Amino acid sequence: DTGVSQNPRHKITKRGQNVTFRCDPISEHNRLYWYRQTLGQGPEFLTYFQNEAQLEKSRLLSDRFSAERPKGSFSTLEIQRTEQGDSAMYLCATRARQGNYNEQFFGPGTRLTVL
Amino acid sequence: QKEVEQNSGPLSVPEGAIASLNCTYSDRGSQSFFWYRQYSGKSPELIMFIYSNGDKEDGRFTAQLNKASQYVSLLIRDSQPSDSATYLCAVNTGNQFYFGTGTSLTVIP
């Protein structure tokens, strides 16, 4: 257990529905990342927060995806009007406050299945 | 060209042997390099990181970095069946981490 928690762990939804995932970081980590991972691939960067500011967002991320990190604590990732291609593992990772050489630690992930 | 490339494998080694995993990256400005282990259905687990040229050892694991060749490797000595997993190479450039597709390792008892 890395100290990063994600909820729910599994989500099954029908195409067209909205879903929201939550990530609770290690308390002293101010940097937070969201990734998507499909079978046979490595994690793909979605977005990055430093405290409450969303500093980077993948150009691959469609307008149906939005992320927030109010008050720089937990973060949520919302997918609107889900499509079957959104089925994947959604991973949250957090990183310590300072330094370019700090590792990031992953939560257990949320597995999304869109029917 | 992908930012990070790994041989997808599968790589099979007998128990007790040395497993060698390789990774190349494209951005010369990359600052730090990470190896993660991922069991099926689980999230990546950090094994080691390295940011200076040369070798870094931690128990049975040795990471090697050659920035001139843009090459990172991971050696696993005395491989155990519990080492069977997918190994992900990750490269940190600025605020982003780029992952390879992973190498599947099977250690045969």
Q: Nearest 5°: phi and psi at A90?
A: -105, 120
Residue of A nearest to B38 (CA): A42
Task: Tell me if B49 and A48 make a contact (CB, 8 A cut-off).
Answer: no
Residue A2: its pLDDT value, please? 80
Beta bridge partners of B57: B62
Rounded Cα distance, A56 and A47, in Å? 6
Q: Give the per-residue SS3 of chain A.
A: CCCCEEECCEEEECCCCCEEEEEECCCCCCEEEEEEECCCCCCEEEEEEECCEEEEECCCCCCCEEEECHHHCCEEEEECCCCHHHCEEEEEEEECCCCCCCCEEECCCEEEEEC
Nearest CB partner across the interface for B32, out of A33, A101, A105: A101
- Is residue A82 within 8 Å of A17, Cβ to Cβ? yes
Q: Which residues contact B66 (CB under 8 A, 6 or more apart)?
A: B53, B72
Spatial CA neighbour of A48 closest among A69, A65, A62: A69
Residue A61: its pLDDT value, please? 78
Residue B33: its pLDDT value, please? 94
Residue B96: its pLDDT value, please? 85
Condensed to tens digits (0 to 9), the pLDDT of residues B30-75 reads 989 999 999 999 999 999 999 999 999 999 999 999 999 999 999 9
How far off is chain B from A58, nearest CA to CA, in Å? 10
Task: Tell me if A100 and B44 make a contact (CB, 8 A cut-off).
Answer: no
Residue A98: its pLDDT value, please? 65
Task: Tell me if B96 and A48 make a contact (CB, 8 A cut-off).
Answer: yes
Residue B104: its pLDDT value, please? 95
Condensed to tens digits (0 to 9), the pLDDT of residues A67-94 reads 999 988 999 999 999 999 999 999 999 9
Distance between alpha carbon B28 and the CA centroid of its chain, in Å?
18
| Average pLDDT of the residues of chain B | 93
